[in-house]
Amino acid sequence: MSIKLITTDDELRDCFTVYHELRPLLESSEQFIHQVKLQLLDYVIDYAKEHNCAQVHLDTGYQRNAAHKVYLARGFQLNCHHLALDLA
């Protein structure tokens, strides 16, 4: 058996079947993905606090309203716009 880095929601969704055996109260793969993402965000915040970081910065797509609600609930503030110009 080998351990593989998960980089997409689809790969994370593939793990749900095994994880569901361990945590049968999870109702869906989408709930599982949401919980994993929350745990990762909380880990980053806790890590930054433990290492005396002054701030945590996060770039997010403007259309990700559900994610923004999570970030705001965790204390993040919308304080700038990040602009990009695709030259390709």
Helix spans in the chain (H): 9-22, 29-50, 65-73
Residue 10 · residue 30 · CB < 8 Å:
no
Question: Which one has a higher pLDDT value, 50 or 28?
Answer: 50
pTM above 0.85, yes or no: no
pLDDT per residue as tens digits for the range 63-81: 888 889 999 999 999 888 8
Is residue 58 included in any domain, yes or no? yes
Report the C-alpha gap between 51 and 13 in whole angstroms.
Answer: 32
Is residue 85 included in any domain, yes or no? no
pLDDT per residue as tens digits for the range 34-50: 888 898 899 999 999 99
Q: Is 54 helix (H, G, I), strand (E, B) or coil?
A: coil
Is residue 59 included in any domain, yes or no? yes
Residue 46: give the domain boundaries.
9-73
pLDDT at 3 over 80: no
Report the C-alpha gap between 55 and 48 in whole angstroms.
Answer: 8
Is residue 83 included in any domain, yes or no? no
Is residue 17 included in any domain, yes or no? yes
